[in-house]
A and B are shown apart, each in its own frame.
Chain A
Amino acid sequence: MLLIRCPWCGPRDETEFRCGGEAHIVRPPDPDAISDAEWADYLFMRKNPKGAHRERWVHAQGCRRWFNVLRSTVSHEILAVYRMGEPEPKA
């Protein structure tokens, strides 16, 4: 079980959170202007790295706010927690 430090509520059990998957995926500003392959890349393709992974979490049973987590997918260690809009910490 992970112990996740919500930027607003402090450390809480993983059961209070939901993982929202890979972070920093930007919706293409003009979907009509790009190819089907580029749209598929935005919709479906994922980095899925073995190692440090930037992902979104929501404190679903707490403050219900979204934030970013930098976490290792090998050790599950949480390397950094940062709010939406804050600069990405180095892996």
Chain B
Amino acid sequence: MKRYSIFALLRNAISRHRDWPPLWRYPDPKPRYRVVIIGGGGHGLATAYYLAKEHGITDVAVLEKSWLGGGNTGRNTTVIRSNYLWDESAALYEHSLKLWEGLSADLNYNLMLSQRGVLSLAHTLHEVREGIRRANANRLNGIDAEWLTPEQVKTFCPVLNTSPGVRYPILGATLQRRGGIARHDAVAWGLARAVDARGVDIIQNCEVTGIRREGGRAVGVETSRGYIAADKIAIVAAGHSSVLAAMAGVRLPIESHPLQALVSEPVKPVLNCVVMSSTVHVYVSQSDKGELVLGAGIDGFNSYAQRGSFHVIEGQMAALVELFPIFSRMRMMRSWGGIVDVCPDASPIIGKLPVEGLYLNGGWGTGGFKATPGSGWVFAYTIARDEPHPLNAPFQLDRFTTGALIDEHGAAGVAH
């Protein structure tokens, strides 16, 4: 791998930037790998990265049915934060945030992480109480969190309408200053470049159509590019988790829904942080290109179609204009949908499945992007050691049998 640096930039400027090497190879699949990862999104690539970096396992293939990072990795709204209520989630997401903070240097690839602060608004007395409780819980877990009064909210984010006369006035907000956004495509590209350099095969346009089992053990995958044998098979397929688990006869507590997002025309810098509101229901930030990037809740029905109904984005727009009257005449440029795998407790499943040799990292629902490096880190540990790391031990499939759910639906300030 050729390292990026100011000298590399100067050297390539002399040759008019015609000699930059491709970021990754396009290898044909080998007949057998030690680990096959199904899904070439951020989480799958991060899993491959930490398998190679932390555990020395490089005989790995990442199978992607489409193009790399073309699923939810390229479709999310790039919000990163770790201010979850429960201890289990706080530890997992904070571990991820700490990895984010060093990841650009680690990968020698600029992920454009911008820790500009995540503001979660409270519009009701109940939300005020829950917000203060969550900020206190975060601080007890060593996560930065502050409670802001409406005046402090106005100072921090001046374009918000903090007038008391609106239907849902802003009564306060939690602020995580270390939260922010990153460039989602760069995450896929930077991780792909790093894993390819370590010898991992990234195989695109390779759809898994079946999981072969022998004597109760998963031994390989049938794909659109032929059969590939593997000692260990890891499903990291987001919206298609249920489909892949069903190939091995495993039922999951997951339902797939469309989550829609949209971007506006680009404008000069106007919004300096990420703003989330669960009651009025929208979350929005401004990308480095100047577009407002916004999203809200899932469509109510199950879908694999990567699109949803218009009234859902209409509701997001109404919420945006309620919170930011200044945006009322902005034009929206594009909208799209991603298929999110929602668990009943809004927490992921990261661990072994009941079939020997089969592992699952899924159920991230609407909030997986922020966890990309941490998710890959704990999943790589689980695959390499054949047991979960203490950080992901509470996130096993059997919690739905034992009842030890990690209920983050309302508690995390997640806008579903």
**Chain A residues close to B by CB (< 8 Å):** 1-2, 14-15, 18-19, 21-22, 36-37, 39-41, 43-50, 53, 55, 71, 73-76
| Nearest chain A residue, comparing its CB with the CB of B341 | A48
Q: Are B252 and A46 in contact (CB under 8 A)?
A: yes
Q: Are B344 and A44 in contact (CB under 8 A)?
A: yes
Q: Are A44 and B400 in contact (CB under 8 A)?
A: yes
When distances are taken between beta carbons in the complex, the residues of chain A under 8 Å from B253 are: 40, 44-46
Q: Are B255 and A21 in contact (CB under 8 A)?
A: yes
- Picked from A1, A15, A43, A46, the residue with its CB within 8 Å of the CB of B242 is A46
Closest-CB distance, B400 to chain A (whole angstroms): 5
Q: Which of A22, A48, A49 has the most CB of B within 10 A?
A: A48
Size of the chain B interface, CB-CB below 8 angstroms: 22
When distances are taken between beta carbons in the complex, the residues of chain B under 8 Å from A36 are: 401-402
When distances are taken between beta carbons in the complex, the residues of chain A under 8 Å from B252 are: 45-46, 48
Q: Are A76 and B255 in contact (CB under 8 A)?
A: no
**Chain B residues close to A by CB (< 8 Å):** 240, 242-243, 251-256, 300-305, 309-311, 344, 400-402
A45-B251, A75-B305, A76-B305 known; A18-B311 Cβ under 8 A = no
| Nearest chain B residue, comparing its CB with the CB of A13 | B311
CA distance A1 to B252 in the complex (A): 28
Other A-B contacts than A37-B401, A46-B252, A74-B305, 19 sampled, CB-CB below 8 A, are A1-B309, A2-B301, A14-B311, A18-B300, A19-B300, A21-B302, A22-B255, A22-B302, A43-B400, A44-B344, A46-B242, A46-B251, A46-B253, A48-B252, A48-B255, A48-B302, A49-B242, A73-B305, A74-B303
CA distance A71 to B302 in the complex (A): 9
| Nearest chain B residue, comparing its CB with the CB of A71 | B301
Q: Are B310 and A1 in contact (CB under 8 A)?
A: yes
CA distance A37 to B250 in the complex (A): 13
When distances are taken between beta carbons in the complex, the residues of chain A under 8 Å from B302 are: 19, 21-22, 48, 53, 55, 73
Q: Are B304 and A14 in contact (CB under 8 A)?
A: no
A40-B401, A48-B252, A50-B240 known; A74-B309 Cβ under 8 A = no
Closest 6 CB pairs of A and B: A44-B253, A48-B242, A45-B251, A40-B401, A19-B300, A19-B301
CA distance A50 to B255 in the complex (A): 11
CA distance A22 to B303 in the complex (A): 12
When distances are taken between beta carbons in the complex, the residues of chain B under 8 Å from A15 are: 311
A41-B251, A53-B302, A74-B305 known; A1-B311 Cβ under 8 A = yes
When distances are taken between beta carbons in the complex, the residues of chain B under 8 Å from A46 are: 242, 251-255
CA distance A41 to B305 in the complex (A): 26
Closest-CB distance, B242 to chain A (whole angstroms): 4
CA distance A15 to B310 in the complex (A): 10
Closest-CB distance, B263 to chain A (whole angstroms): 21
CA distance A39 to B253 in the complex (A): 12
CA distance A2 to B300 in the complex (A): 12
When distances are taken between beta carbons in the complex, the residues of chain A under 8 Å from B255 are: 21-22, 46, 48
Closest-CB distance, B256 to chain A (whole angstroms): 6
When distances are taken between beta carbons in the complex, the residues of chain A under 8 Å from B344 are: 43-44
Closest-CB distance, A15 to chain B (whole angstroms): 5
Closest-CB distance, A86 to chain B (whole angstroms): 21
CA distance A48 to B401 in the complex (A): 19
Closest-CB distance, A27 to chain B (whole angstroms): 16
Pull 23 A–B residue pairs with CB atoms less than 8 Å apart, ordered by A.
Answer: A1-B309, A1-B311, A14-B309, A19-B301, A19-B302, A21-B255, A21-B302, A22-B255, A36-B402, A41-B251, A46-B251, A46-B255, A47-B242, A48-B242, A48-B255, A48-B256, A53-B302, A73-B301, A73-B302, A74-B303, A74-B305, A76-B303, A76-B305
Closest-CB distance, B69 to chain A (whole angstroms): 21
CA distance A53 to B304 in the complex (A): 11
CA distance A73 to B308 in the complex (A): 11
CA distance A52 to B2 in the complex (A): 49
Q: Which of A14, A73, A74 has the most CB of B within 10 A?
A: A73
When distances are taken between beta carbons in the complex, the residues of chain A under 8 Å from B251 are: 41, 45-47
CA distance A49 to B239 in the complex (A): 11
When distances are taken between beta carbons in the complex, the residues of chain B under 8 Å from A18 are: 300
